Structure 1
């Protein structure tokens, strides 16, 4: 008997929204999900056009998330949605996630998890009380060679981890386009919708999550400098930090959206007592390994020498590039497997969301403080 896909409802991601389209492609990639409902925009015309473009039943294109949750609850269990994908600006993540979890639906949410640690903890409590799964779109953890790097470090191939260096450089906010009608820039630089971190919350959280996820080390203290380079901007557009990690490791983190000319320059380097590795998002199918006692290696996606957990994330033979959408699809595949109670790829969830929100608040506090080091709580639960 053919297994039916799980049913997905989406909030946000209306006509013209980049990230909503990415979520829909990723969810559909492996046949695990089918989009059947949505509340895509508060603009009713845009909302209805999006539903029509996606060939949805007009009765399941809802004006609000509240209407969607109520309408779907009224349907038979084998027809209603299984999960809600939240692809809205940050200020809506917590209220929408909590409402969906409390209504009995699983939630897959854009990052960052919320606007504050307090909101993230409230989501964690709702997820625990409801018994539903909560997934978080830290996409880069879904890349096969990110998993290969993580697994090799966990096996001790690099020896004792000493240095963790991560950077995420973009240039798209180098000019004041947030004052010129660019909707994606407007909300990301608005404290009421983005939160207390601009570049920090948008891409600094990705850098932080990737560094901890791959290295297996947790940041225990940090010394941060958040800056604004475009006059009149209200949130940081450039971030730098020194990091202290457990196991006596040291690190650096850089994130910028005013590095003019940069595209999506996410890079990670980790060094241990025996060797180091390097991965770059814009060349995601190569993992470079460097050793004290032998020549450097270039490990390739689909090539020889990959671990089982890496092979699980690959879809094509060597030389057939896989990238951003496929990495995103790995998260949705793992999310579906968890809901079905099956084994599948790991995906970021509540602990990752709580860690990154504590990181954001510690970074802001550090940047405002005259103290050299600001501690970062190691807890991963509410």
Structure 2
């Protein structure tokens, strides 16, 4: 394949500030068409060099594509990704992949039938230091995991409270994020869907764990959606876990993603804020991963590139495939169901 014929559904804030510039700069990608709403769509087509613009997702998907990138509001991901997979297309679908566990596993089944690439662009899953941590775990350096801590906090209180000013400035985009995507319960707004999706997907990729039950609580603190999330998890292998999220770091503070894994042979700690990965084994062995200063900051440059490389065969490493994404979705959905049931322990999957 000389050039990947790519279409895009969704032409808002994140698509125009991250994905489109990256794809437009590649010689191995042809931007066939873009689907979106609003009077600015034609300008976006011209700016990035798409062949055509349309408001019809079906017209876009039927345009002799190889692949599609879906960057719509959360609640539209499932039907659009399903249509793309049923046409045999490779799919890059924004996070959260879906809002419901049954929809997530439906996409997993469709992707398996299609035999195509499905990638959800979780940026931290592609950092050199998390890849190094994954290799340590895969080599059995801490033994069987018995306890997992997964925490995330970010300066996003305005975004989930309907004032995206700081996030807009952070990403330097001229397209404001749609508040309904982030602060509307009907469209999957809230910190769990918007941010805990990152930390939980990182956890599941690193460990291959799957949550069995969760007892969760959320707090809106005056916002229309959750700003704080907490859960106690029991994993399929019997391990215990804790999950936490907070939207109220001060603007400009560094993101916190803190994963600590306690196993039968040692402990592995990953801290993106302080940019450290440390292994401490019970036999006295110690190891620390060297991290380039600033590499802990979130960015999403590698996943779109990896998507194309997976399609062309230049890479075989998908660090955020449909299964990783589905395990994140099912945990978040169950946590929110548990919170609505006053914290009752809730099954994550059958």
**TM-score w.r.t. structure 2 length?**
0.84
In structure 2, relative to structure 1, the CA distance for the partners of 1:174 and 1:52 (3 Å cut) is closer
Deviation of the 1:363 alpha carbon: 0.6
Q: Is the 8 A contact 2:215 2:339 kept in 1?
A: yes
Distance of 2:22 and 2:55 partners within structure 1: 24
SS of corresponding position for 1:354: helix
Whether 1:208 aligns to 2:200 is: yes
Q: Deviations over 1:254-306 (max 9, x none)?
A: 1121344544212212122333222233455x4222344547543115xxxxx
Give 1:116's aligned residue: 100
Q: Which runs of 5+ in 2 are unaligned?
A: 166-175
Q: Is the 8 A contact 1:191 1:235 kept in 2?
A: yes
Whether 1:132 aligns to 2:132 is: no
Q: Deviations over 1:128-162 (max 9, x none)?
A: 44443322222221112212112211211123322
In structure 2, relative to structure 1, the CA distance for the partners of 1:125 and 1:272 (3 Å cut) is closer
Distance of 1:155 and 1:95 partners within structure 2: 38
Give 2:183's aligned residue: 189
In structure 2, relative to structure 1, the CA distance for the partners of 1:297 and 1:32 (3 Å cut) is farther
Distance of 1:153 and 1:353 partners within structure 2: 19
Q: Is the 8 A contact 1:24 1:35 kept in 2?
A: no
Moved over 6 A (4+): 179-182
Match of 2:319 among 326, 341, 347: 347
Distance of 1:300 and 1:139 partners within structure 2: 19
Number of aligned residues: 339
Match of 2:259 among 245, 268, 274: 268
Give 2:138's aligned residue: 154
Whether 1:165 aligns to 2:149 is: yes
Distance of 2:309 and 2:257 partners within structure 1: 28
Q: Deviations over 1:174-201 (max 9, x none)?
A: 587416896444421112322xx62111
Q: Map 1:368-379 onto structure 2 (within 5 A).
A: 368-370=340-342, 372-377=344-349
In structure 2, relative to structure 1, the CA distance for the partners of 1:87 and 1:33 (3 Å cut) is farther
Give 2:19's aligned residue: 23
Q: Map 1:297-336 onto structure 2 (within 5 A).
A: 297-301=287-291, 324-325=298-299, 328-329=301-302, 331-336=303-308
Distance of 1:52 and 1:263 partners within structure 2: 35
Give 1:92's aligned residue: 76
**TM-score w.r.t. structure 1 length?**
0.77
Match of 2:242 among 227, 243, 252: 252
Q: Is the 8 A contact 1:91 1:193 kept in 2?
A: yes
Distance of 2:10 and 2:37 partners within structure 1: 9
In structure 2, relative to structure 1, the CA distance for the partners of 1:260 and 1:39 (3 Å cut) is same
Q: Which runs of 5+ in 1 are unaligned?
A: 74-80, 302-317
Whether 1:39 aligns to 2:34 is: yes
Q: Deviations over 1:106-128 (max 9, x none)?
A: 21100111232233244334434
Q: CA RMSD in A?
A: 3.0
Q: Map 1:288-299 onto structure 2 (within 5 A).
A: 288-294=278-284, 296-299=286-289
Distance of 2:309 and 2:163 partners within structure 1: 43
Distance of 2:285 and 2:219 partners within structure 1: 40
In structure 2, relative to structure 1, the CA distance for the partners of 1:221 and 1:173 (3 Å cut) is same
Distance of 2:330 and 2:54 partners within structure 1: 34
In structure 2, relative to structure 1, the CA distance for the partners of 1:126 and 1:248 (3 Å cut) is closer
Deviation of the 1:323 alpha carbon: 6.2
Structure showing greater Rg: 1
Give 1:363's aligned residue: 335
Q: Map 1:35-74 onto structure 2 (within 5 A).
A: 35-44=30-39, 46-57=40-51, 60-70=52-62, 72-73=63-64
In structure 2, relative to structure 1, the CA distance for the partners of 1:175 and 1:66 (3 Å cut) is closer
In structure 2, relative to structure 1, the CA distance for the partners of 1:183 and 1:339 (3 Å cut) is closer
